[in-house]
A and B are shown apart, each in its own frame.
Chain A
Amino acid sequence: MKLFFTVNGERRDLELDTRTTLLDALREHLHLTGSKKGCDHGQCGACTVMVGGRRINACLTLAVMHQGDEITTIEGLGSPDKLHPMQAAFVKHDGYQCGYCTPGQICSSVAVLEEIKAGIPSHVTADLNARPGLTADEIRERMSGNICRCGAYSNIVDAITEVAEQQA
């Protein structure tokens, strides 16, 4: 069926099988392959993109559910010549190895800082009435839906912390 949504600020018109996931629409139809397919089942987080400013697993949602939505992918955050601060921090802190989970980690990282800023609590927030802090524990908890089998977690937390401190 026909639909459109906005990807990285650009309106995209598509005609898609109703079974096509948002992830496959991005990767296979728009050739925006920065969003990765690690499991296709919402288990790994490699496909994380932002829809309406909130992060979601693009493999767990059908493209046809996003008529008119505003979608941001890793390609929309920055480019090799003009890195987003989070992308630059990942390079500086070596917050990746094979790079396959990296776009998902970075999209999640950007969204996590917004969630903390917005006062949204997490499992490790001790006081639900207080604003959650920008602590390593908060970051680790909120990033735990993004698996990195290369095990760059310690460096990723350093990268996110640096960006958070720059923003503060």
Chain B
Amino acid sequence: MKFDTPATTNPIDQLKVVGQPVDRIDGRLKTTGQAPYAYEHNDAVRDHAYGYVVGAAIAKGRITGMDLRAARAAPGVLAVVTAENAGALGKGRMNTARLLAGPEVDHYHQAVAVVVAETFEQARDAAQMVQVSYAGAEGAFDLAAARDLAEKVDQSASATGDFEGAFATAPVQLDATYTTPDQSHAMMEPHASIAAWDGDRLVVWTSNQMIEWGAGDLARTLNMPREKVRLISPFIGGGFGGKLFLRTDAVMAALGSRAARRPVKVALQRPLMINNTTHRPATIQRIRIGTGRDGRIVAIGHESWSGDQPGGGPETAVDQTRLLYTGANRLTQLRLAVLDLPEGNAMRAPGEAPGLMALEIAMDEMAEKLGMDPVEFRVINDTQVDPNDTSRPFSRRQLVECLRTGAEQFGWSRRSARPGQAREGSWLLGMGVAAAFRNNLVMTSGARVRLDGRGEVTVETDMTDIGTGSYTIIAQTAAEMMGVTIDKVTVRLGDSSFPASAGSGGQWGANSSTAGVYAACVKLRNAVARKLGFNSADAVFEDGQVRAGNRSVTLAEAAGGEGMVAEDAIEFGELSKRFQQSTFGAHFVEVGVDAATGEVRIRRMLAVCAAGRILNPKTARSQVIGAMTMGVGGALMEELAVDTRRGFFVNHDLAAYEVPVHADIPHQEVIFLDEVDPMSSPMKAKGVGELGLCGVAAAIANAIYNATGVRVRDYPITLDKHLDRLPELA
């Protein structure tokens, strides 16, 4: 199905199942420990062995020798695979750095070997016996030091009007630089795979957000035909972008299995994950905003520096600045430095998350310079068209409504405009606001829908559920379309033998994958109507029956003993070019800052989101509160500490890379504005899972400033950064 004209009324609009706060259909499995994750497919493979990955001990250089004798002779060892004996390996399209080092080492903890043994304990023990000698090389590991060497990249670059001239003459100006650190996805389930060969065919049970990309890149890496690789990933213990791509666990399991002639399980050890896999790259961001005395933006410029491995890409932190606020004179520019740190890549809301961490502090600073309320300052600089091309409207844009609703619900009028004024005992209190913005991306997505002789519906697609609720919203979509209750729908996901889907990333999954299921259901409905001799335009699918005029047939009868099946995909046309499709929100935060220690506690959080039709308010709300929680991490604690001498992230486990815990998070409120967006898909939905993260950290930063009067522009805002400047204790 081509989607190239705005959606009109369709069966989804009935909202009998879609749009309802349905409990997750996989909830009973997850809460009882019965949902099988990658490492747990013990029923599918017999007699498996265990692989343990050895990571490089240098950040850059060459392996000069490997002594594997002790490891090979250790009890239970079946194979030791290194680049020397792995055979020729290709590289996945989505990978920047190779997944097995040798002889060159590209980054710290890049895999250099996998040791396969009968038991996990034996493999772990023997892995310590692998002796590797290296010739280290000089590398670049410090973004600040490499800043001047960074080169301009075309991606996300834009120039409209005369930014420099307009900024220079603007009556009110801000020119400030902000930094965001390297961050880690730190999902709870480690990257894990079980590989099993059957002749020249390979099956891998894995934990991957994008099955089609993963299967293709695994085939490419192993130099084998794509059709001989099958990936199975029904449950994924979190991804956040860290499992978008093929990672070394799948490759090492496949190579280890080939060498040991047994199925092999590999889970990346937690202390290896942060340096072995990808991370969100650090940024240095310079923002310049010029306004008139009335607060209207006349010039807005955003430049960002980040680093990556050779051949890698930039963190696109300037993207939102192209579209979020009005202003005739505009400039965005990214610069990319070559760094030899581990590979930088997408983490939840890549670009916008760190970009808004900076931009939305800048907006707060600018509002203060103008003596304006930060909500009002944002409201008067709203735009309903793409500011770079004013002929291009937003499909739906309710940023102002988000800000106004949030201000009212949060009690924003109680905020003191002057910082450092509100006290409660030893606590300095402050409120902060930030806008949330994330583009709505759409991706081709396919599905197969089967109707059986019991009138039950089965959906198959390689779509993944990484905690987002895909199982549930896909079941809701099929139930709505076929006119059955949700308990009559079975959803099977995450298998590369199913039709290729949008996968889970870039907050495109919910809208695109359900639209693909919609397309397949339309095809199935038409086939059912045809079979019954109904005019498909007249056929009503309701209560397990198909009706046309005064004829009525149950779905079970219609399907017959053999059942019926339809497969289709949604393909998106030009609507996303003709209309700017984005999602909007506003975050409001109240913090307390301990006047003596500088410790920050989050007291209240509210997000107001306008993101098209909300397919399931319960799971969508969870996406948003989860993102708000990650935003607390970004504001207050998350930072990969770079050893700029040795070239690695020092705090590479969950003890040292701090993420929010229960005690850090108060009760969180989320409001979804009523919205449908007929430009986005027949579902009229948009993404929401990344929107929830965008702007959170800045709202917290602004609340801290409001509490203390100390402006911190370098994340995370740890107490050492403002302790010496806090107001005197009364």
Contacts and interface: CB of A to CB of B under 8 A. Distances in A.
Q: Do A and B bind each other?
A: yes
Contacts of B271: 41
A100 B467 CA distance: 9
Contacts of B662: 139-141, 143-144, 146, 153, 156-157
Summarize A's interface: helix, strand, loop or mixed.
loop
B629 interface: yes
A40 B269 contact: yes
B42 A98 contact: no
A80 B25 CA distance: 11
A74 B655 contact: no
A80 B34 CA distance: 8
Nearest to B269: A40
Given A39-B654, A41-B271, A44-B188, A83 B120 contact: no
Interface residues of A, number: 62
Contacts of B163: none
A61 interface: no
B665 A100 contact: no
Nearest to A43: B654
B581 interface: no
B186 interface: yes
A41 B190 CA distance: 13
Contact of A43 (B236, B629, B630, B653): B653
A78 interface: yes
A94 B666 CA distance: 16
A102 B622 contact: no
B579 interface: no
Nearest to A136: B667
Contacts of A28: 120
Interface string B16-41: 00000001101111111111110110
A79 B231 CA distance: 28
Interface in B35-66: 35-37, 39-40, 42
Interface string B660-696: 1111011110000000000000000000000000000
A148 interface: yes
Interface in A117-156: 136, 139-141, 143-156
B654 A34 contact: no
A149 B42 contact: no
A163 B475 CA distance: 29
Contact of B189 (A91, A98, A155): A98
B33 A73 contact: yes
B270 interface: yes
B116 to A, nearest CB: 15
A83 B667 contact: no
B100 interface: no
A17 interface: yes
B119 A17 contact: yes
Residue among A33, A78, A157 with most chain B CB within 10 A: A33
Interface-central residue, A80, A88, A92, by most chain B CB under 10 Å: A80
B270 A36 contact: no
B528 to A, nearest CB: 32
B283 interface: no
A82 to B, nearest CB: 9
B188 A36 contact: yes
Contacts of B119: 17, 20
B622 A43 contact: no
A91 B31 contact: yes
A78 B32 contact: yes
**Most chain-B CB neighbours within 10 Å: which of A32, A90, A91, A141?**
A91
A99 B619 CA distance: 13
B659 interface: yes
A2 interface: no
Contacts of B190: 37-39
Nearest to A18: B121
A130 to B, nearest CB: 21
A144 B661 contact: yes
A101 B618 contact: no
Given A98-B188, A141-B663, A35 B33 contact: yes
Contacts of B237: 36, 38, 98-101
Interface string A61-105: 000000000000111011110010001101110101111111100
Residue with the greatest number of chain A CB neighbours at <10 A, chosen from B37, B186, B271, B622: B622
Interface in B153-200: 185-190
A90 B445 CA distance: 31
A137 to B, nearest CB: 8
A39 B189 contact: no
A151 B629 contact: yes
Contact of B36 (A33, A43, A46, A157): A33
Interface string A1-41: 00000000000000001011000100110011111111111
Given A100-B189, A149-B186, A154-B665, A37 B267 contact: yes
Contacts of A151: 625-630, 660, 665
A94 B653 contact: no
B279 interface: no
Interface-central residue, A34, A35, A157, by most chain B CB under 10 Å:
A34
B618 to A, nearest CB: 5
Contacts of B28: 80, 83, 87, 91
A45 to B, nearest CB: 9
B498 interface: no
Interface string B602-628: 000000000000000011011101111
B305 interface: no
B265 to A, nearest CB: 9
B655 A43 contact: yes
B667 A36 contact: no
Contacts of A148: 188
Interface string B465-478: 01111000000000
B117 to A, nearest CB: 11
A58 interface: no
A147 B659 contact: yes
A106 interface: yes
B653 to A, nearest CB: 6
Contacts of A155: 622, 625
B238 interface: yes
B263 to A, nearest CB: 14
Nearest to A155: B622
Contacts of B120: 20, 24, 28
Contact of A152 (B186, B625, B659): B625
A94 B618 contact: yes
A99 B30 contact: yes
Given A36-B37, A144-B663, A154-B667, 8 more contacts: A20-B119, A31-B42, A97-B468, A99-B35, A100-B188, A149-B188, A151-B629, A155-B625
25 contacts: A20-B119, A20-B121, A34-B32, A34-B34, A35-B33, A38-B189, A41-B655, A43-B270, A44-B188, A46-B188, A77-B32, A83-B31, A91-B28, A92-B23, A94-B27, A96-B31, A97-B469, A98-B235, A98-B238, A99-B29, A101-B237, A141-B662, A144-B663, A150-B238, A153-B661
Interface of A: 17, 19-20, 24, 27-28, 31-41, 43-44, 46, 73-75, 77-80, 83, 87-88, 90-92, 94, 96-103, 106, 136, 139-141, 143-157
Across chains A and B, which 10 residue pairs bring their CB atoms closest together, nearest first?
A34-B33, A151-B629, A100-B237, A97-B467, A98-B467, A99-B30, A151-B626, A74-B33, A43-B654, A33-B40
